[in-house]
Chains A and B, each alone.
Chain A
Amino acid sequence: MRQGFRQSMAWLHAWSGLLVGWVLFAVFVTGTASFYRSEISQWMRPELVATETDPGRAAERGAAYLQRQMPDAMGWFIELPTPEKPAIAVMWWKSMEGPFHQALLDPETGEPTSARATKGGDFLYRFHYELSMPPMLGRWIVGACTLVMLVALVSGIVTHRRIFADFFTFRRDRSTQRGWLDAHNVAGVLGLPFHLMIAYTGLTLLATLYMPWGVRTAYKGDEIRYFVEAGLMPDLRWAAGKPGTLTPLGPVVAASVARGGKAPEGLSVWNPGDANATVVAIFEEPHGLSHHHPQIAFDGQTGAVLGQAGAVGAATGTGTVMAGLHMGHFAGPALRVLFFLCGLMGAATVATGLVLWAVARAPKGAAPAGFGLRLVRALNLGTIAGLPAGVAAYFLANRLLPVGLSERASWEIGAFFAIWGLVALVGALRPGPRAWSQALGLVGALFLSVPPVAALTTGLNLPGGALRFLGFDLMMLALGLGFVVAARKAAARVGAPLRRPARDLTGEEALRA
């Protein structure tokens, strides 16, 4: 019976992992990059340099711009400038179904900045949970894949009886398959707490989307009421249907500073043209693990304080800590590096698992590979080499596309998908022993070319000093060198005779394959 249980879990691990592996790899890579989302955005908008701006004046400039764009909006959002993001980011929308318009304003003038149009790090961040699909569809697909990932983790743990011993086992010289198995085990086991945490907290971040049934029974589906009672947002007022005049936002910011102790991160304005307009000041999350932004609501006509959200109960506090763990905002530089490395290890676990699946099923001798195996091999190369190539192309396009190009941000994203698709397509059409080393070599070359291309295009007259993006350049070089080393390893395998295990795998080893 025990043997049967582990056997069924081994089957479940192999197939559930294969089913979602390609999506999970893409989510892991773009999600890991998102730990440095604001750094990527800064690099992609080199024209923006830090300026000293009064938050109250910035809020009023944002409101003046929005008043011209959509005075009868359902909502505005004004993100105040910071040294990391020295611009006023504004959003405005007519309904919660969207579309959500956005612009980046110069804090000095209140007009759109002259910075190149780009989605910056936000593209990679949103891709990691929406896959550039219609948002709800993408979120459900990523959610389903994440749940299957949890199933694969649990069944993987059951499969590995000797989890501690495996940890110190790396038999890369024994056989190809054994080497991949050990690499998969080391990356999976070493990062296991992180993998479990990141998958579960990823689901709970969108918990009321995936599992709305508690809100449905206890609140009859009134999600806003639930958020208000849980202390996650202040009580908002419905639109009165009568026109009103919005109070100047400068004094609102001053009142927020007086009450909240510091300037808010941003202001949301609900029904700005209505007599019941509400301004909500949203503060940076306080120091600690929890991802929970204190908020103060103001009357949009008089500027009087309406209410406050801050204190949450134990369960809701657990939820906000889970969200905080997923995003890692609490982490200082060193801990953020650790999160980044754990994310890379997650991507490596998925990649080695996918390769292992194909290696374990390679036909012996001269027997031809079946269609399923060829499909898996093509998708493996297309994802594991193709996606990083797309990320590098996204960065290169940011520097190579003309600054004044219309629809520029879309062209950058187009470069991401075009290079990804190209690598996948060539890999699928020309499979062969050299495909992996060539594809990985291309990825390495693309990443290595990012710093020189940046130096030649923007580097010489970079506002804020030529060494401003040294960290980003070093990261590109490190990634590029990593892929070049991987390409050389893959090329070395081509020449060597394929080493099969001297004897057939025993039952348990086969199980774990």
Chain B
Amino acid sequence: MLASSAHVVRFPFRRPRAACRGLRALTGRTAPTPAYRAAVLGRILLAALGGYAVAALATGLLALVLPMPRSEAVTTATLTSFAVMVAVVVAVFAARSLARATALVLGLALPLAGGLWLAGAFTG
């Protein structure tokens, strides 16, 4: 249950609650602290850059390894890529903490990059 004045939804995780409570005691209302703002900015950057990176790596890898003619593999990989990015963005904001979200993005991006390296995409 949210505080009764909360018509406005604030991002729920990793909020420095003690700081907010202190602020509320002082001013009677809660305002986002710098730490809260930094955490939100971190998620936004991770979602945008990490989401695009994972989608781009997946597209590049699937285009090489899908068992179908080259043009069909490229089309399949490219058409799917936007769903991949949306899924990563949603997962980044659903994760319990920024650290977990970062681990998730790296856990997807690194194996994909490794697969691309094995498939010879970086050797020209």
Q: Interface of A with B (CB < 8 Å)?
A: 4-5, 7-12, 14, 147, 150-151, 154-155, 177, 200, 203-204, 207-208, 210-211, 213-219, 226, 229-231, 313-316, 318-319, 322, 360-361, 504-507, 510-511, 513
Contact of A211 among B5, B55, B73, B121 (CB under 8 A): B55
Task: Knowing A8-B13, A203-B82, A218-B64, say if A504 contacts B4 (CB, 8 Å).
Answer: yes
Q: Are B86 and A147 in contact (CB under 8 A)?
A: yes
Q: Are A218 and B74 in contact (CB under 8 A)?
A: yes
| Alpha-carbon gap, A510 to B1, bound state (A) | 10
| Alpha-carbon gap, A150 to B93, bound state (A) | 14
Nearest-neighbor residue (CB-CB) of A13 within chain B: B9
Is B45 an interface position by the 8 A CB rule? no
Q: Are B86 and A214 in contact (CB under 8 A)?
A: no
Q: Are B69 and A313 in contact (CB under 8 A)?
A: yes
Q: Interface of B with A (CB < 8 Å)?
A: 1-2, 4-13, 55-57, 59-64, 68-79, 81-83, 85-86, 89-90, 93-94, 96, 116, 119, 121
| Alpha-carbon gap, A347 to B70, bound state (A) | 39
A-B contact count (CB 8 A): 139
Q: Are A510 and B9 in contact (CB under 8 A)?
A: yes
The A interface, classified by DSSP as helix, strand, loop or mixed, is helix
Give 9 nearest A-B pairs by CB, closest first: A214-B63, A230-B71, A229-B71, A213-B60, A315-B75, A217-B60, A218-B63, A214-B74, A214-B77
| Alpha-carbon gap, A314 to B94, bound state (A) | 35
Contact of B60 among A216, A226, A229, A319 (CB under 8 A): A216
Nearest-neighbor residue (CB-CB) of B74 within chain A: A214
Contact of A207 among B7, B64, B79, B121 (CB under 8 A): B79
Contact of B7 among A154, A316, A513 (CB under 8 A): A513
29 A–B contact pairs at CB < 8 A?
A4-B96, A7-B9, A8-B13, A8-B93, A11-B11, A150-B82, A150-B86, A151-B86, A154-B86, A204-B79, A204-B82, A207-B78, A211-B55, A211-B59, A211-B82, A213-B60, A214-B59, A214-B62, A214-B77, A218-B64, A219-B74, A226-B74, A229-B70, A230-B72, A313-B69, A313-B72, A315-B79, A316-B72, A510-B9
| Alpha-carbon gap, A200 to B78, bound state (A) | 12
| CB of B41, distance to nearest CB on chain A (Å) | 12
Interface centre among A14, A147, A319, A360 (most CB of B within 10 A): A147
| CB of B89, distance to nearest CB on chain A (Å) | 5
| CB of B2, distance to nearest CB on chain A (Å) | 5
| CB of A391, distance to nearest CB on chain B (Å) | 29
Nearest-neighbor residue (CB-CB) of B124 within chain A: A220
Q: Are B63 and A11 in contact (CB under 8 A)?
A: no
Q: Are A213 and B63 in contact (CB under 8 A)?
A: yes
Q: Knowing that A213-B81, A315-B76, A318-B75 are A-B contacts, what are 15 other residue pairs whose CB atoms are under 8 Å apart, sorted by A's residue number?
A: A8-B94, A150-B82, A151-B90, A207-B79, A211-B55, A211-B78, A213-B56, A213-B59, A215-B78, A217-B60, A218-B63, A218-B73, A229-B69, A316-B75, A507-B1
| Alpha-carbon gap, A207 to B59, bound state (A) | 11
Q: Are B81 and A211 in contact (CB under 8 A)?
A: yes
| Alpha-carbon gap, A8 to B12, bound state (A) | 6
| CB of B45, distance to nearest CB on chain A (Å) | 14
Nearest-neighbor residue (CB-CB) of A231 within chain B: B71
Q: Are B12 and A11 in contact (CB under 8 A)?
A: yes
Interface centre among B9, B57, B121 (most CB of A within 10 A): B9
Question: Which residues does chain B contribute within 8 Å of A504, judged by CB atoms?
Answer: 4-5
Contact of B82 among A8, A147, A214, A226 (CB under 8 A): A147
Nearest-neighbor residue (CB-CB) of A3 within chain B: B12
Nearest-neighbor residue (CB-CB) of B75 within chain A: A315
Question: Which residues does chain A contribute within 8 Å of B116, judged by CB atoms?
Answer: 217
Contact of B61 among A4, A217, A230, A360 (CB under 8 A): A217
Question: Which residues does chain A contribute within 8 Å of B70, judged by CB atoms?
Answer: 218-219, 229
| Alpha-carbon gap, A218 to B77, bound state (A) | 11
Q: Are A215 and B79 in contact (CB under 8 A)?
A: no
| Alpha-carbon gap, A214 to B77, bound state (A) | 7
| Alpha-carbon gap, A253 to B2, bound state (A) | 70
| Alpha-carbon gap, A360 to B94, bound state (A) | 23
| CB of A370, distance to nearest CB on chain B (Å) | 10
Question: Which residues does chain A contribute within 8 Å of B79, judged by CB atoms?
Answer: 204, 207, 315, 318-319, 322
